[in-house]
Structure 1
């Protein structure tokens, strides 16, 4: 069996989950694809070691977060945020409005807080797993989560019911 076959199987099995995480981090489908592609190249380069020693999915998720934070630090963009939501055809208008409000609010968080929120609430990782992934203490995860949720509550009424959760 070709070593690349196991990598192809890994990508087929985990691409959707990794793409969702990349999209939630970047807030843009095209940037998410770029982020995922650059991370998959890193995973492929370390594939033999990852299959023998590590957890490829955890490594890929951690690489996504690290690459995203690195990109955000270097980002110098001429793009201006728009108050108008993107066009699209959705069946449930209320859930669409909430989804857009959540996405816009997440986009206003600092990269580290955004990563913590996505890992804790979207990826459903524990505080310990999130701390390990971000190479920080559990206390840092807790405080980043607290500050991020407080900021989200001020940015969007969709987050008002998050009082006291997690």
Structure 2
């Protein structure tokens, strides 16, 4: 688990767009992995099994309105290094926030973690056709939203 912690944290951040929430999601996922360790260890792909748990934790936590805390969009008086690629990350984060949770999860698993459609379907426990349609719709939504942001 220690070897995968940072990867899970980045994955959780990409889904929820908040580092504190990402840490909470990883903690919940680790507890679930621990409880189901026999199943995780016996899985054909334990890493994908753990990613499935993390993704499903995020999806289920989004359904709980009492758990949603929103952090401030910008911290006051914080300098920004102009050479940093923060603008690119912020615009990508804004585009990802416009997607629904399942489309966002599919795109992150497919393109950030480079999982195949079959692996993504296994992680999300959906059909490959659902992954393909969510990918196509998510990419189209990103294109539309990007054009709207630019012009």
TM-score range, shorter chain: 0.7 to 0.9
Query: Which TM-score applies when normalising by structure 1?
Result: 0.77
Partner of 1:19: 9
Whose radius of gyration is greater, 1 or 2? 1
Q: Does the CA-based 8 Å contact 2:104-2:138 persist in structure 1?
A: yes
- 1:48 CA drift (Å): 3.6
Deviation at 1:134, TM superposition (A): 1.2
Give the equivalent residue in structure 1 for 2:88.
98
Please list, as runs of the form range in 1=range in 2, the aligned pairs for 1:38-117 lying within 5 A after superposition. Answer: 38-51=28-41, 53-54=42-43, 55-75=45-65, 77=68, 79=70, 82=73, 87=78, 89-90=80-81, 92-93=83-84, 95-117=85-107
Q: How far apart, in 2, do the equivalents of 1:88 and 1:41 lie?
A: 37
Q: Unaligned stretches of 5+ in structure 1?
A: 1-10, 161-166
Q: What are the superposed Cα offsets for residues 76-98 of structure 1, whole Å, 9 maximum, x if unpaired? A: 5474884x5885644634x2211
Determine which structure has greater relative contact order: mean sequence separation of CA pairs < 8 Å that are 6+ residues apart, divided by chain length: 2
Alignment match of 2:127 (pick from 113, 137, 145): 137
Partner-residue secondary structure (3-state), 1:12: coil
Change (3 A) 1:57 1:29: same
Deviation sequence 1:62-118 (CA, Å, 0-9, x none): 011111111112235474884x5885644634x221110001111121110000000
Change (3 A) 1:75 1:105: farther
**Number of matched pairs:** 147
RMSD: 2.6
Structure 2: segments with no counterpart, 5+ residues? none
Q: If the length of structure 2 is used for normalisation, what is the TM-score?
A: 0.84
